[in-house]
A and B are shown apart, each in its own frame.
Chain A
């Protein structure tokens, strides 16, 4: 088994004029993972993906895909990568069947079974003309065209954009189906955290062009905690708490969101002499929003703890 990362970047940076769109991005995506690339609109995700694929030259830094330098991706390496963009460029006058046959001619490893399987999954009849398809059907067709060459690495740039819930579920099912082969890697950007929760095992979060999180989904959920302190009277002023993201106060309560909550944090909070201290569970979406909120420290990055090997 090849343990080298499928995607690796070092200090990947891109400026547009004086503005850094992606800043010092260091990513590692291991083979077999389902990696969600998250961040708000305009945080630099698409720019980063375009650099990964060699479609846009980095201002600084670099990286590799399947072990090949991203500035010099060969056609042979590209043939092992499936890439699905936000906008699906398809010939409107062709039928679904024709566009499949047309595309197949470009790929040595084309699997008609995968193609018909995916279009069937999206409820597409082969005789339909592309220009008559709905948005969800077009997405299904584009996905079928991307999956049929059986790519080792699948890169999806916001594949769920504009899809209705049924089409989106079909998309997620297709992604899960792909994980049947444990050597297949999926790297996808998304705003739908429900989908992310279902399929992803690793996440990275870009915020204002800087990588702020790169770890497993579970590590992220475990690191961002909500703390609820109840007081007999009005809550006292809050001392500096390391890793504090947000604080809300009500008449008798202080509700904090912290990252890297640990024994020291708890001791510092106990000093405030609350009547009770609780750690209510926090959903992924709330954790994500707190983490990317306007307030709070921005100086740390959430990563997997270093493991001695």
Chain B
């Protein structure tokens, strides 16, 4: 498993979210795949020098989202993602992210066309990566 979590204190992202985001990113880019094992809460807490509750919280969030599973006595494993939010709820969560994206793009003087183009490029990159991973 060539996967390494890097924690920065003083960030505006709370530490538990740095962990969940990096695990999700590693899954999205294929660094972590189904059946890969993650370190135990205790082991990750000690290697990252964190309160174990913080790691437990991150793992809890990932488990609730259906991305990992803790098998008692064996460890923590990546599992196949299932859809955990109803479409409606998903849209509700996506909305503020889109607002922030558009707000930032406007502030940096992007035209709507440029933004659309950038987004499309990103999506096709992502599709390509995902295709490679699924094969």
Chain A residues with CB under 8 Å of chain B are: 34, 169, 172-173, 176-177, 179-180, 193-195, 197-201, 218, 221, 230, 276, 278, 280-286
B13 neighbours in A (Cβ, 8 Å): 281
Q: Contact check: which of A177, A230, A276, A283 meets B10 at CB < 8 Å? A: A283
Residues B95-133 near A (CB distance < 8 A): 99-100, 103
Q: Which of B7, B53, B99 has the most CB of A within 10 A?
A: B53
Interface-located stretch among B30-38, B41-49, B69-77, B78-86: B41-49
> Restricting to B5-61, which residues have a CB under 8 Å from any CB of A?
7, 9-16, 42, 45-46, 49-54
A40 to chain B, nearest CB (A): 18
- 23 A-B residue contacts at CB 8 Å? A34-B51, A172-B49, A173-B46, A176-B45, A176-B50, A176-B51, A179-B52, A180-B42, A194-B10, A195-B9, A198-B15, A198-B49, A198-B50, A199-B50, A200-B51, A218-B14, A218-B16, A278-B100, A281-B13, A283-B11, A283-B12, A284-B9, A286-B12
- Whole-angstrom distance between the alpha carbons of A230 and B107 in the complex? 10
Interface centre among A173, A197, A218 (most CB of B within 10 A): A197
* Interface size classification for chain B: 20 to 34
Residues A193 and B10 in contact in the complex (CB < 8 Å), given A177-B46, A179-B52: yes
Interface pair B49/A282, CB less than 8 Å apart: no
Contacts of A201 in B (CB 8 A): 51, 53-54
Q: Give Cα distance in the complex from A21 to B125, angstroms.
A: 61
The winner among A179, A195, A286 for most chain B CB atoms within 10 A is: A179
A198–B9 touching, CB < 8 Å = yes
Name the distance in Å between A21's Cβ and chain B's nearest Cβ. 30
Q: Is the CB of A176 within 8 A of B49?
A: yes
Q: How far is the CA of A284 from the CA of B8 in the complex (A)?
A: 12
Q: Which residue of A lies closest to B7 (CB)?
A: A198
Q: Which of A179, A193, A218 contacts B9 (CB 8 A)?
A: A193
A197→B49 contact, CB < 8 A: no
Distance (whole angstroms) from the CB of A121 to the closest CB of chain B:
12
